[in-house]
Amino acid sequence: MEYFSRSLVLILLYFVFWHFASLFALTPLVSAFYPAAGVILFFIYRYGAAYIPAAALAILLGSLPIDTFWYWEATQISMSLRQLAIYSLCGLFLRRVSNFNLPILRLRDVGILLLSTLIATLISAAIALFLLRHFANLPTAVMQETFLSFWIGDLAGVLMFMAAASLFVDFYDEKKSYDDDVFDNGFARPILLLCLLVFVTSVFFVLTGLEDDVSRFGYLILLPVAWAAGFYGMRFALLAAISVNFSAVGTYILMELSSYPALELQTLFTVTLAMAMLLGASLEERKLALFDAAHDPLTQMLNRRAFFQQAKELLERCKRQQRDLALLMIDLDHFKRINDTFGHHAGDQVLMKVAECCRKVCRQTDIQGRLGGEEFVLLLDDATPEQAMIVAERLRLSIEEVMIPMSREHITTSIGLSHLMMPEDDIEHLLKEADRALYEAKSKGRNNCQSSLPHLIPAFS
């Protein structure tokens, strides 16, 4: 059932994009850009050679009712076979390249995509030129222009569809693919920015078109795309590139800007998409490098240096705004025995599960870190001593449900709490007080929570 549903989606997408490309036809067999080729490449890359028959069916049905395949001549048949073979092979190549993945978030992935599609479309255009000359008696005088239009049009179309597929990878992968995305805080602001980009691009093309200066100044539309990529990352950069290019194409058609050759428009489309991918990937890699520098690679919690840096900032804010602040120091009971008995892999699994338990009890304004080994620390913003004790007990009970891999044993933890009491208190003082409370928890048999404030008792005891 899954195969048939995906095949149906492939056929429908190809049909839509074939007819979309026909709106921008330069000749009966050449379009300004051809995203239908990207549909074939993407499905073969994503789901394998089993979808080549579906791609062949999509090519047969895609041109209906304008061009009925039962009346095809040798030109249409050979051109369709060329398209199926070239883009299926390119999709299979990308599938075999183990270090290429969607979404396109790394410069390496962008390089692989650009190089493979550049070569595939170049070969496709060369074969198409040979077929057109052989079957359609293409005049020699227009061969070079036809070749370039075919090549750049296919390249622009493939990049456009791969960019769109990368944009919406969250939906068919059913997982969050873009961290720290511009859309995480709502859609109003990014949509407004996109509308502004489209408006500015359209006005720019209208004004320069009236003065016949589009050919000289058209590449200025790269600037807003570069801005989007540099400040907001890959997803917004791709959206900006696609939106800006379509507004430019729409203005080109409506204003009949004959002074701007179609080949330059195709090249502008391709360069804009490629630049958005390269700059967006550069920003994503920089964000990833900053994340890796500040986080523990195993648990994805803040490392010791980053925790102290953020903790000091939160402490100062709490002092200025006279808010409560609580610190929880968590230490797993007998963790060394887990490593010695079940191996370090089992110990790593336990640490990752404990980190997940910590994340579940924390709010967005709280800070979580791993100080080293089996020692974790939480900084609870605007939490009274009583509230912090409730969180600590909830965390202790949650960790108590974690089972050691390859055994039926559960782990336990001891937790020490401290609280911001005096204006001169610093993070080192809070850690010292929490460590003293943690020592008391261990001396009382472990698997319990103790506070540096003597009047507090565990909420669930």
Taking residues 210-236, what's their average pLDDT? 72
Average pLDDT score over the chain:
84
pLDDT over 50 at 17, yes or no? yes
The CATH number of the domain covering residues in 304-451? 3.30.70.270
For residue 101, pLDDT over 50 is answered with yes
Name the band, by pLDDT with cuts 50, 70 and 90, for residue 171.
low
Interval 293-311 mean pLDDT: 93
Residue 458 predicted with pLDDT over 70: no
Residue 20 pLDDT > 70: yes
Q: Hey, which of 37-51, 159-173, 213-227, 279-293 has the most confident mean pLDDT?
A: 37-51
What own/partner pairs with CB < 8 Å and gap ≥ 24 does 43-49 have?
43/6, 43/10, 43/91, 44/87, 44/88, 44/90, 44/91, 44/92, 44/95, 45/90, 45/91, 45/92, 45/94, 45/95, 46/91, 46/95, 46/102, 46/165, 47/6, 48/92, 48/95, 49/88, 49/92
Evaluate if residue 461 carries a pLDDT over 50.
Answer: no
Cα torsion angle, 177, 183, 186, 187, sign = negative
User: Is the pLDDT at 211 greater than 60, yes or no?
Assistant: no
Write down the domain spans for the chain. 2-293, 304-451
Rounded-to-integer distance, Cα 438 and Cα 134, Å: 84
Q: Looking at residue 155, what is its pLDDT?
A: 93
pTM of the model: 0.75
